[in-house]
Amino acid sequence: MALSPLFHSNLPSLQFVLLVSIFIFSGSLYASDDPHLSLDYYASICPTVFDIIRKEMECEVLSDPRNAALVVRLHFHDCFVQGCDGSVLLDDTITLQGEKKASPNINSLKGFRIIDKIKNKVESECPGIVSCADILTIAARDAVILVGGPYWDVPVGRKDSKTASFELASANIPTADEGLVSIISKFLYQGLSVTDTAALSGAHTIGMARCANFRARISGDFETTSDKGPMSETYLSNLKSICPAAGGGDNNVSAMDNITPNLFDNSYYQILLRGEGLLNSDQELYSSILGIQTKQLVVKYAHDPISFFQQFSDSMVKLGNITNPDSFTNGEVRKNCRFVNT
């Protein structure tokens, strides 16, 4: 398993102090029960918004189930940079450097066209009222339901940012070959717990990853973590044909849940129990010697789909409530999600 420099530290107590202090201080970074958000924010000013978004998402997911995954990931990458403020949706301009070209996003983040389409529909019904950040948050919830996942109520009332941060997109978003401790600290920094980290990672029950993000895993310790039986050997050789160790094919894709790739269920955790997680970051939740709590959670969610669904819903509300305090005072409702209003 690829280990981060932190993993090699022989000062576990220092790591613990670091994590605890990040946890304590992160509480004051973002308010999770944000007073600006409420369930009925649009009830009188745009009562049909939830129906419009649901209808559009139904068409998108029906035409290609992968679209559900694209939108869920887009929401996650929005919220980890300046809070859920639609910053990820902004295009580069002469005066603004967006987040789309930051390393976790470039050649990887998709689904912008889906949000544009929904925004157009919403604008024609309720002009200037519904933020892009809210559209993305609601669309992510609908995406999950449409591929068989749980329902949760979405608090709304977010404003769109007038800024984006290339630097924070590069720094805050966890990557496939990052160690577990480092990934957990990125979640704690956002006010999300170890439990949230394990449950939200379950979003990898849908969607695809590119070879560039799983080459190290399949030419690394995949064989060590898996049971080396004929099934896992066949799976590994398939993955190697998609993603040659020698290089090339960086953009070839494989499903992260090879059992039910288009269904939101708990099979992602069952795959981790078998040691066949596609990304290093996935498998570490179960196999890292430092992941005592995450291992217990993986076992629990693998055996109890209801508790996974319950925790995933709660954690998605927490993710969606990561707010950008600046956007509430200086933010706006963009007319076009790709550009700040002129």
Q: Segment contacting ligand HEM (CB under 6 A): 4-12, 90-98, 156-164, 198-206? A: 198-206
Rounded-to-integer distance, Cα 75 and Cα 141, Å: 10
Indicate the residue among 134 and 282 with the shorter CB distance to ligand HEM: 282
In terms of residues, how long is the chain? Answer: 342
CA atoms within 13 A on the CB side of 286: 25
Closest CA to 157 of 263, 219, 257, 84: 84
Judged by CB under 6 A, the residue of 170, 175, 193, 195 near ligand HEM is 175
Using the rule CB under 6 A, which residue among 37, 46, 209, 298 binds ligand HEM? 209
CB of 170 to ligand HEM, least distance (A): 14
Q: How far is the CB of 150 from ligand HEM (least distance, A)?
A: 13
Given 46, 52, 66, 172, the residue binding ligand HEM (CB under 6 A):
66
Cβ atoms of 195 and 201 within 8 Å: the answer is no
36 noted as active-site residue: no
Integer Cα distance of 252 and 244 in angstroms: 10
Angstrom distance (rounded) from CA 102 to CA 175: 12
Give residue for tokens 């979003």. Answer: 203
Nearest approach, Cβ of 47 to ligand HEM (angstroms)?
28
Q: How many residues bind ligand HEM (CB under 6 A)?
A: 25
Q: Strands (DSSP E) along the chain, which ranges?
A: 208-210, 253-255
CB of 300 to ligand HEM, least distance (A): 17
Contacts of 67 (CB under 8 A, 6+ apart): 60, 61, 111, 114, 143
Q: Is 210 in the site for ligand HEM (CB under 6 A)?
A: yes
The verdict on 76 binding ligand HEM (CB under 6 A) reads: yes
The only residue of 83, 86, 150, 174 in contact with ligand HEM, by rule CB under 6 A: 174
Cα distance between the two ends of the chain: 49
Return the exposure string of 212-244: e unless at least 16 CB atoms fall within 10 Å of the residue's CB, then b: bbbbbbbbbbbeebbeeeeebeebbeebeebbe
Interaction of residue 108 with ligand HEM, rule CB under 6 A: yes
272 touches ligand HEM by CB under 6 A: no
By the rule CB under 6 A, 281 interacts with ligand HEM: yes
Q: What angle do CA 264, 266, 270 make, to 5 degrees?
A: 135
* Structural tokens at position 332: 């706006």
Of the residues 8, 36, 75, 77, which is catalytic? 77
Residue of 70, 138, 180, 243 that binds ligand HEM (CB under 6 A): 70
Does residue 73 bind ligand HEM (CB under 6 A)? yes
Q: Is 69 in the site for ligand HEM (CB under 6 A)?
A: yes
Binding positions for Ca(2+): 78, 81, 83, 85, 87, 99, 205, 257, 260, 265
Q: Given the rule CB under 6 A, which residues bind ligand HEM?
A: 66, 69-70, 72-73, 76, 108, 110, 174-176, 183, 197, 200-201, 203-204, 206-210, 213, 279, 281
Catalytic residues: 77
